[in-house]
Structures are given as structure tokens and as C-alpha cells.
Amino acid sequence: MTKDKESITGSFHFVYIVTLIVGTIVQFSDESEFAVDISNMKLIHVPKDLPPKTKILDMSQNNISELHISDMSYLSGLKVLRLSHNRIWCLDFSIFKFNQDLEYLDLSYNQLQNISCHLITSLKHLDLSFNDFDVLPICKEFGNLTQLHFLGLSATKLRQLDLLPIAHLHLSYILLDLEGYYAKETESLQILNTKTLHLVFHPNQLFSVQVNISVNSLGCLQLTNIKLNNDNCEVLIKFLSGLTRGPTLLNFTLEHVKTTWKCLVGIFQFLWPKPIEYLNIYNLTIVEKIDKEDFHYSKTALKALKIEHVKNEVFIFSQTVLYTIFSEMNIMMLTISDTPFIHMLCPPPSNTFKFLNFTQNVFTDSVFQNCSQLVRLETLILRKNKLKDLYKVGLMTKHMTSLEILDVSGNSLEYNRHDGNCTWVGSIVVLNLSSNILADSVFRCLPPKVKVLDLHDNRIRSIPKPIMKLEALQELNVASNSLTYLPDCDTFSSLSVLIVDSNSISNPSADFFQSCQKIRSIRAGNNPFQCTCELREFVQSLGQVSSEVVEGWPNSYKCDSPENYKGTPLKDFHISRLSCNTALLLVTIGVTVLVLAVTVTALCIYFDLPWYLRMVCQWTQTRHRARNVPLEELQRTLQFHAFISYSEHDSAWVKNELVPCLEKEDIRICLHERNFVPGKSIVENIINCIERSYKSIFVLSPNFVQSEWCHYELYFAHHNLFHEGSNNLILILLEPIPQKCIPSKYHKLKALMTQRTYLEWPKEKSKHGLFWANIRAAFNMKLELIAENNDAET
């Protein structure tokens, strides 16, 4: 059954069913209820394990032959049941007595011969068509179906009062299957109230139905499977006489028609004076021959003629004869699509055409050239033909002074001129040039006042500059091309809708929304976005625009490169402004380095880092030198028993007490004021004295910790300059030193005072003897060894 979406006549049957089903499904989905589809599964009976809460059940296209009450009784909430294309031969409607909510029941294309009349009053859609009924299966109980909108029936013969039980019902749609109709005498059938009547006849038999059908307030009539020749053409016209008598019939559709040209013209002539406004013919086959036929274009109510899918089995005929019938029709809208027509004649000056649709024919560039009679034409559709030259298409419109909408999509149009000298009628506001082979040059050949321009699916790589100003352009579709950047609005100052998805745009400009202030909708998804710094500002600008403006955001906007970002939605692509701005990055690095340098310098000064560095340097040099000298050789260089380190403030005690006492025991003492070599650095003298001394004595006092040179001496002595394991430190605490008085940089001194045993100078004279004894005991090397070394040197 044809489902025409463009014509307002369409198939009301299809629309009604779809509306009911979709509405029901949406409602059920909202209520989280169940829909079960077990169609086309070769079932021979209804399954017993269906969910009890099932609301929609589809068991069509199976082999079910019988229904039982147990099949349906537990489905108390069932609302939609489809059982078409099965083998059901008998039905007792009482099996549905537990399904009081059932609204939609489809039993078409079964083998039903009789039914019982225990109907469910909740039914809105009941289809019993394409079954084996002898007479219409209508009984008085049908009169209780007050909610019924659609009724499908089958019969092989008709009786005038068959539909009397439903005379008071106001149906929207009656489908009457008469494929098996065989009555030889004229019969009558009165269908009282329906808006749409659809009659289906046998597809392979010549039309021979002789029945008088009268309908009140019929608005739409559809006949399917009409096979005619010149002899039985009058049978159809007589059949239509009763159906087209009423003033309310505005829509008439013929579907699957096989006829001669003469009979087709006769049908047109019969319908011309009728009140019908919209005539549709789908799947038309013309047979036998095409000769010139007289046609009187009298005043008609017909507004639109639509003919879709024409098959011409006549191969030799006059093209003029065929085209003249249509070109001279005094109607407003003519559609002839999916036909083998190669041309259409220019209509006479008196034509009233406002709408012409010649989709999917084989028209060439010569169509309507030099035709000046289509001055009333507002819409011209030449989609999917054989047009090749855009310049000639523009020239074709030269005299169509009322033309507003032109659709030439799906052709092979090109524009190869470079002078930009195109001729277009100035009234065109909507132009569809999609699915052609147009390149960048198309922007030099466009109607100047076009408002809606569709160029998707072409070969456009860029929008060249300069181009003609399209100041009226509001909508531009350049999807599925090869554009590498977003067009700006310098040329399109009124642009409000832009479609550029599926192009080659990798780094769109962030200035787009600034230059296109009037944009209210943009679709730029499915492009190979390169997620680098150049894209950052564009992503930010997208985020600042309403989602209603950016269509498809964020699902259609994903990174294509680099590889680590591939597939990442743009909304999740984040890169800092700092890493994208070289100047700012350099300034930031410079400031950071400067701040760090100042901070490090301050910390170094605060924590005496220069001092530590000098210490480490001197210690490293001395350590390196000491490692290369064996222990025996180091010992042979010893000249002193002890090197004394002290503060000048404590020199009186050292010179008056410590030195005399030690030298009295033949202990050779090294003092800085008498043993430092002039000309050498202080640090080098300190190291030499420590290297040439068996022990190092440190006189500790508050004065000592305030002396930097004293700490040098302590530092070098503590790090075992001569050999690892040497125990060469003797600590004498001359006066108590509070921990808080020791500077932080003297952490070695703190460690030594906590880890090593030191000798404390007693204040009582009685304990002085013990103190000196401990000092002498600390020298365990034979004095002869040092004496021998001194003799060897001399």
C-alpha cells in the first residue's frame, strides 16, 4: 500500500495505523510496560509463557491456525494484538472477554470464513480484510463498537444492507477487500458514514465490478489494483459515478493501475468537472499505444495532479502527444515523478501552474529553455534528472518571474565559466543544488536574492574571494564537501543558519561567532578536528554558545588527531592558555626563573650555602688527595702529636694551661700562630696542620662557636681526612655551650657534642690532675715514631 508523504491526500489508512500504534507504544514506554514481538517465528500456536503484563503483542507472519481462551485470558492488560498473515480459519470473539482493554486487533491475511459476534466494545481498530468471508462479516453487535475508527472487511459479494448495523457509527476509515468479488449482476451497498473508503480489487483481472456504492460525507476515495483496456474503461467510469457524486469528495487516489493511454485520458476527462481537488496515481503502467486524444480543459476544481512511478510499455509514440496532455492542464500543481519522461513542453500562456515537480525523470538542459509562459510558477522541482550545466539552469529561470523555490538536486550540474556572468530570475529565495558535482566556482553563479541555499554533497573545497555579495542569504548548507575552514560572514551578512558537518575542517577559526553575529544555528560536527592549540579558542567559543545554537553538540564534535586525543569529545579537550601562547610562555618562564633565582639566592644567604660550598670543595680536594696516599705513608709524614684549634678569646687558657702541660710531657703541639706557613691560604694551612698532626684538639666554648675558622678546622678534622676509621678528635669543653647558642650551620658541632665523649675543664683545682691524665691517655702513638719522622726531615 502506497504511503505518500508529500501529498495531503496520502494514505489515511497508513497514517491512522501509524498514529495509533506509535501513540500507544509511546504511552506504554512512558509507563514502563511490555511490548512482545514474536512475529515471523513459524509458530503454530500462541506461546504460554508470555509476560502477564504484556500490552503490545505481535504474532504476525506465523502459522497459527486457532486461538483459545486460555491463550489470552491471563493477558488482561493487552491493548494491541497483531495476528495478520497466519492461518486462522475460525474465530470466537469470546476468547477476548478477559481483554477488556483491547483497542487494536489485526486479523488480516488469514483464512477466516466466519466469526462469532461477542465483540469487545473497547476496540478502535479492527481489521478483518483479506480473509475468505463470503459476505461482509457484520452482525448487530458491531453497533456497540462506539469507539471504532478503522474497520477492514472482506467479501465475495455485497448486499445493500450489510453495513446497516454500523450505520450510526462515524468511522474514519473503511478498507474493503474485493479481490474475490465475483457477482455478475449489479449490486448495491450503502456505506453511510466514513471519511475514507479504500477498495482493493483483484490485481490480475480486468476491472468488472458492477456495484452501486453510496457513501455519506466521503472525503477520500482510494482504489487499488485497477486493470483497464479500452473496452472496460466505461465500467470503471460508471462505478465512479456514484462514488464521486457527493460534494465532499476532495481526494481521489488510484494505485497499481494498468491502462491504455486512451482510457487514462478518458478518466481524466471524467474527473475534470468533478469536485475532486487532489488526484493521485501511483504505479501507473501504460499499455498498447499512445495516440492523440481530444481533451477539453473545462473549468475544474482540481488543484493538484500527482503521478508517481510510471512504466511505459509503448515504445513507439509521439512525445508531443504525451506531453501536451499534461502541459496544457489548467491546474495549479502537477507532479510527474519516477517516469521515463525526457522532456516537458512549455505550457500555453494561459497556464495556471504554480507548482511543478518532475523528480526522477530524464530531463536535460533543454527543458523549459526560452519558455516565457511560466510567469505564475512559484515552485519548480527537477530533482534527479540529467541536468549538467548550471549556467543553462539559470537561463531557464529567466522568464519565471514568480519563481521562489527551485530544486535541481541530484543531477550532474557543473559550472565551468570564469566570467561569473550568470542569468537568474531575481525572485528565487530557496535554491537546492545539493548532490551535484559543483566546485568552488558555483559561488560566482547564484541568484542574488537567495535566502536558503543548499550545496551539500558537492565538490566544494573553499569559498573563493571575492565572490558576489549574497546579503540576503540566511541559511547555507555546505555539508559533505571538502571545506577546510568555516566561512565568514563578510559576504553573507544576514547568515543565521550554517550547516558544515562532514567536511575537512580541522582548525575552525575562533573568530567565527564574532564575525557572524546573527547565527542562531550551526551544525559543524563530524569534521576531522585537530585538537591542538589552534582549536582551543574555538572550543571555548562553542562552550559559550547555547546548545540550541550548536546542533549535535557535543556528540558529533570529536578529535580526529593527534592520535592520543582521537575520539575525544571536544568538550573534554582541555589545554592551558599558557602552553598555547609562546610569548606568554616565555615571559612566564623568565619571571619564574627570576623569582626562583632570587628565592634561591636569599635562601643560600639565609642558610649560609656559600660557606657549605666552600667547605665541600676544600674537603673534596683533600679527600681525593688523601685516598691516593697509603696509611703508612700518611703516618710517616706526622710531625706533631696534636693540632690545637681554639678561639682567640680563649688563647690565654690555651697558652698558659694547655700547651705548657702537654709540652711538658714531650707532646709536640701545632699552633696556627707558629706553624702556619706564610704565603699559603688559611684553608690550606689548616689542612696541612691537620694532616701532619696525630690528633686534633678542639677547645670548645661560646667563643669557639662564633668563630668561622674554628668550624672549618673542626669540619676537616671530623671527615677523616687521613684515612677512614682514624680516631683523631679530642674535644675539650672549656665553658658550657647552650644548644641554642650554636648557629644552625654548625650542625657538625651539634652532632659531635651528642655523639662523642668530650673532656670538660673542671673549675675545681683538685680535679685538674685527672683532666691532664685523661689528655695524656688520649695519645696512644709512640712518641718515638714522630721523633723519627722529625729527624728524617732534618
Per the structure, the complete domain to which residue 693 belongs is given by 639-778
Evaluate the CA torsion angle 623, 627, 631, 637 in order and state its sign: negative
| The three cell numbers locating residue 516 | 557572524
For 219-263, write each residue's pLDDT tens digit.
Answer: 999 999 999 999 999 999 999 988 888 888 999 999 999 999 999
Per-residue model confidence as pLDDT tens digits over 337-350: 999 899 999 999 99
Q: Give the start-end residues of each E strand in 473-534.
A: 475-477, 497-499, 521-523, 529-530
Q: How far apart are CA 762 and CA 771, in angstroms?
A: 8
96 within domain boundaries: no
Q: Is residue 100 part of a domain?
A: no
Burial class (CB in 10 A: 0-12, 13-18, 19+), 555: exposed
Average the pLDDT over each of 168-172, 559-563, 686-690, 724-728 and give the range with the smallest value.
Answer: 724-728
CA distances to 92, 417, 435, 497 from 454, in Å: 58, 21, 9, 11
Give the residues across from 414 on adjacent strands. 389
Domain membership of residue 571 (yes or no) is no
Mean pLDDT of the region 339-362: 94
Residues 106 and 50 sit within 8 Å (Cβ to Cβ): no
Tell me what pLDDT residue 30 has. Answer: 40
Which among 664, 619, 665, 671 has a CA at the least distance from the CA of 642? 671
Query: Is the bond preceding 528 in cis, omega lying within 30 degrees of 0?
Result: no
* CATH number of the domain where residue 713 is located: 3.40.50.10140
437 contacts: CB under 8 Å, gap ≥ 6: 412, 413, 414, 458, 459
pTM of the model: 0.71
Predicted local distance difference test score (pLDDT) of residue 452: 97
Q: DSSP of 252-287, one letter per residue?
A: EEEEEEEEEHHHHHHHHHHHTTSS--EEEEEEEEEE
660 within some domain:
yes
* Residues 626-674 pLDDT 10s: 556 565 555 556 788 888 888 888 888 888 888 888 888 888 888 888 8
Q: 223 near 244, Cβ under 8 Å?
A: no
CB atoms closer than 10 angstroms to residue 590? 10
Give the span between the Cα atoms of 414 and 412, in whole angstroms. 7
Length of the chain: 794
The answer to whether position 596 is within a domain reads no
d(CA 379, CA 783) in angstroms, rounded, equals: 127
State the pLDDT at residue 29: 42
- 390 has a pLDDT exceeding 70: yes
CA distance 197 to 215: 9
State residue 4's pLDDT score: 40
Other Cβ atoms less than 10 A from the Cβ of 70: the count is 10
pLDDT on residue 712: 66
Instruction: Answer whether residue 135 is part of any domain.
Output: no
Instruction: Give the model's confidence band at 154: pLDDT under 50 very low, under 70 low, under 90 confident, else very high.
Output: very high
Q: Which of the four pLDDT bands, split at 50, 70 and 90, describes residue 570?
A: confident
Number of domains in the chain: 1
What pLDDT is recorded for position 620? 67
**Which pLDDT score is estimated for 625?**
57
| Measured distance CA(372)–CA(407) in Å, rounded | 19
318 has a pLDDT exceeding 80: yes
> Among residues of the chain, what percentage have pLDDT more than 70?
84
The region of weakest confidence among 273-282, 527-536, 616-625 is 616-625
Q: Which of 118-122, 189-193, 236-240 has the highest mean pLDDT?
A: 236-240
Q: How many CB atoms lie within 10 A of CB 632?
A: 7
User: What's the rounded mean pLDDT across residues 166-183?
Assistant: 90
For residue 32, name the pLDDT band (cuts at 50, 70, 90): very low
Cell 582548525, residue? 507
Residues 277-297, mean pLDDT to the nearest whole number: 94
Structure-block grid coordinates of residue 621: 680536594
Angle CA 332–451–425, to nearest 5: 55
Cα Rg of the chain (Å, integer): 54
pLDDT band at 749 (very low <50, low <70, confident <90, very high): low
- Does some domain include residue 686? yes
What rounded mean pLDDT belongs to the chain?
A: 84
Q: Is 680 within a domain?
A: yes
